[in-house]
């Protein structure tokens, strides 16, 4: 994850459960990457992981064993997305404006591919999956705005961040293979639809609460 450029460098706020252990792992990996590996290549690798995830969900129409491909894709996506900025900082070759713009642009497309593909699978409705994407994008927009107006770049909410989200999606994918497709009592909603609706509601609620709190704080400060 690349932090945004600013006149004063924004403060990274990362309080998710796995942040400390993940940082240790990334710091261990960075010096062991080959010299020819670049942050741009890792960004591309992360996007390739998103494509693999999407392919796995689409192929699950043929056989649920293809869901295993999604798990591989999530790992590849984590590796590329988590290491591109870390490697740039480790080698002191940051390009803040370029990295920020490209990284988050590609992340947005990758997120749409992965979650949208869940909605194109036998396990979840497309409209429900897109609601989850909207909730995620709203929270992302709040993060980008906060980085600009108050200099805080929040990488986690409610002790959860991108890594925890990937793990949650991986657990849901395994459950899909065990439970299979099918709705609940003829409601046209699967258990995974209900789960996604709950997650979407939480994301939108966090966005509304955080946006109100920040607007109130900025108004009091006269900014």
Domain holding 79: CATH number?
Answer: 1.20.120.1760
Other C-beta atoms lying within 10 Å of the C-beta of residue 40: 15
**Residue 116 · residue 129 · CB < 8 Å:** yes
Residue 192 has pLDDT above 70, yes or no: yes
25 in a structural domain: yes
pLDDT of residue 23: 87
1 in a structural domain: no
153 in a structural domain: yes
H or E element, residue 11: strand 11-13
The candidate with the shortest Cα–Cα distance to 143, out of 6, 8, 13, is 13
**Residue 80 · residue 42 · CB < 8 Å:** yes
2 in a structural domain: no
Of the listed ranges 12-21, 113-122, 144-153, the one predicted with least confidence: 12-21
pTM of the model: 0.89
4 in a structural domain: no
What integer is the mean pLDDT of 85-110? 90
Tell how far CA 34 is from the center of its chain: 26
Residues in the chain: 223
What integer is the mean pLDDT of 161-186? 90
Domain that holds residue 36: 11-221
Residue 2 has pLDDT above 90, yes or no: no
What is the spatial distance between Cα 132 and Cα 111, in angstroms, rounded to a whole number? 10
24 in a structural domain: yes
The candidate with the shortest Cα–Cα distance to 115, out of 45, 174, 185, 193, is 193
6 in a structural domain: no
139 in a structural domain: yes
- Domains contained in the chain, number: 1
Q: What percent of the chain has pLDDT over 70?
A: 91
């Amino acid at each position: 994850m690349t932090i945004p450029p600013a006149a004063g460098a924004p403060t990274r706020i990362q309080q998710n459960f796995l942040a400390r252990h993940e940082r240790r792992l990334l710091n261990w990996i960075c010096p062991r990457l080959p010299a020819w590996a670049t942050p741009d290549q890792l960004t591309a690798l992360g996007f390739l992981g998103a494509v693999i995830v999407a392919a796995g969900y689409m192929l699950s129409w043929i056989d649920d064993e293809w869901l295993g491909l999604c798990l591989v894709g999530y790992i590849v996506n984590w590796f590329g997305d988590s290491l591109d900025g870390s490697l740039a900082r480790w080698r002191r070759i940051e390009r803040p404006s370029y990295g920020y713009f490209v990284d988050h642009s590609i992340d947005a497309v990758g997120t749409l591919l992965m979650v949208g593909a869940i909605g194109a699978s036998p396990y979840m409705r497309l409209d429900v999956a897109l609601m989850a994407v909207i909730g995620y994008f709203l929270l992302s927009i709040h993060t980008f705005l906060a980085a600009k107006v108050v200099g805080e770049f929040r990488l986690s909410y409610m002790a959860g961040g991108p890594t925890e989200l990937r793990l949650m999606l991986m657990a849901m994918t395994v459950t899909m293979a065990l439970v299979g497709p099918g709705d609940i009592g003829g409601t046209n909603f699967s258990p995974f639809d209900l789960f996604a609706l709950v997650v979407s509601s939480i994301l939108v609620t966090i966005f509304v609460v955080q946006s109100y709190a920040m607007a109130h704080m900025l108004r009091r400060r006269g900014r």
